[in-house]
Amino acid sequence: MLRNVSVRAEHWPLSTPFRISRGVKTAADVVAVTLIEDGRQGRGEGVPYARYGETIESVLAQVNALGPDLARGLTRRDLADRLGPGAARNAIDCALWDLEARLAGRAVAETLGQSPLLPLVSALTVSLDVPQAMGEAAARMTGATLIKVKVDQHDPAACLAAVRAAAPDAALIVDPNESWTIEILARLQPVLRDLKVALIEQPLSADEDSDLVGFESCAPICADESCHVAADLPGLKDRYQVVNIKLDKTGGLTEALDLLAQARAMDFGVMVGCMVSSSMSIAPAFHVARHADFVDLDGPTWLANDYAGGAVQRGAELLPPDGLWGVPDAAA
């Protein structure tokens, strides 16, 4: 067995800036991996995330270091022993899944014993801005039944109230991206209750989430930055009720499926999220998201242009990518 291995950085401009508590994005900068074997091509994408010390250059270096082993047939299970969780392993792992599907002539869904993918209700994200602008953004989300609201420590109550006024019937997820303290979280409980917030995602820094032990919240609290892989779960049980599975944190679909199974076994609720990315990242995440309580896969909807056959948002539902990843080649 000998594979051709290629890796490159890609730059996907956004149609509008995406703001969260720790900064603003105007483009999705990703690392794309392509593996070719016996004329079949498998692809995967990873999104380097500065929060975890990743850069485009560091992820490219990690993939390139494994290039010779990948060319000689490195498997997905071998990969977990060679590279830690993160964007590089995600891109490689997903490329291997895609390649396996195309070589076997069998879709990933079939390999997993699942039916073909169907549309999922996915959150639409209101990025951080002044309250009026956030309300206006929510008002444009016609038909949305689940809205994720990015906030920071500066008047989150006003931001949430503006979104709720514009979308009175949608379920709301509030995401401070680690910008709150336990005092802010406690002070906001009446507001969160009155606005019928359905989920609070990573309110405190992962370094400070021990403050959540014993805290009684009006809505479930979801671990994002505090949860990467299945081994993290035992330390989260007394702090969180839900975990957010992202393939760039788990290091690919292989570990994401393990995390899903372990989370369910330990009675955690499950959210499946994403970075701002192309549909190449979202396609494998659909295979986990179909089992989730909350889905947040609108990353590609922020792009000015996406892959042909990419995920499409229609009202409340996100349609899965069509033929982009994890399916047999048409000529197979």
Active site residues: 150, 246
CA distance 103 to 116: 18
**Alpha carbon distance, N-terminus to C-terminus of the chain:** 19
Per the CB < 8 A criterion, the answer to whether 219 and 241 are in contact is no
CB 297 within 8 A of CB 283: no
* Distances 294 to 9, 34, 51, 291 between C-alpha atoms, Å: 30, 30, 23, 9
* Cα–Cα dist 201/296, whole Å: 12
Alpha helices of the chain — where are they, by DSSP H? 56-65, 67-71, 76-82, 87-104, 108-111, 131-139, 156-166, 182-187, 189-194, 247-250, 253-265, 279-289
Query: Do you know the residue count of the chain?
Result: 332
Separation between Cα atoms, residue 251 and residue 53, nearest integer Å: 14
> CA triplet 179, 262, 99: central angle to 5 degrees?
95
Burial of 327 (0-12, 13-18, 19+ CB in 10 A): buried
Helix, coil or strand: residue 267: coil
Per-residue tokens: 108: 């990933």
